[in-house]
Amino acid sequence: MIALRDLLGRFGDIILGEDTKKEAVQKVLERILGIQVSKENILIRDRVIYLNTKPIYKNEIHIKKAGILDELQKLLGEKTPTDIR
């Protein structure tokens, strides 16, 4: 008998859509840095997060990159992005 979690695990990419990942990035950035980034300024491609923000925010994000990626790992699990640019 196939367990339900094994069956649903096959659809993880579909369930964990692009909007869900962007919302998770927004929440983590707001929680850790206190900045708000709109979904239009977030692009996730090949497990890399590309942000279109002010340079001062980008510097702060790169300083705290390890903490941001750890929080995203907790929220998203295996399919979390591995880098921020």
Domains contained in the chain, number: 1
- Please check whether residue 33 lies inside any domain of the structure: yes
53 pLDDT above the threshold of 90: yes
- Please check whether residue 6 lies inside any domain of the structure: no
- Please check whether residue 70 lies inside any domain of the structure: yes
**For residues 8-30, average pLDDT:** 78
6 pLDDT above the threshold of 70: no
- Domain extent, residue 57, equals 17-84
- pTM to 2 decimal places: 0.77
- Please check whether residue 11 lies inside any domain of the structure: no
- 33 vs 12 pLDDT, higher one: 33
pLDDT score for 70: 95
- Please check whether residue 77 lies inside any domain of the structure: yes
- Please check whether residue 9 lies inside any domain of the structure: no
In terms of Cβ atoms closer than 10 Å to its own Cβ (0-12, 13-18, 19+), residue 66 is exposed
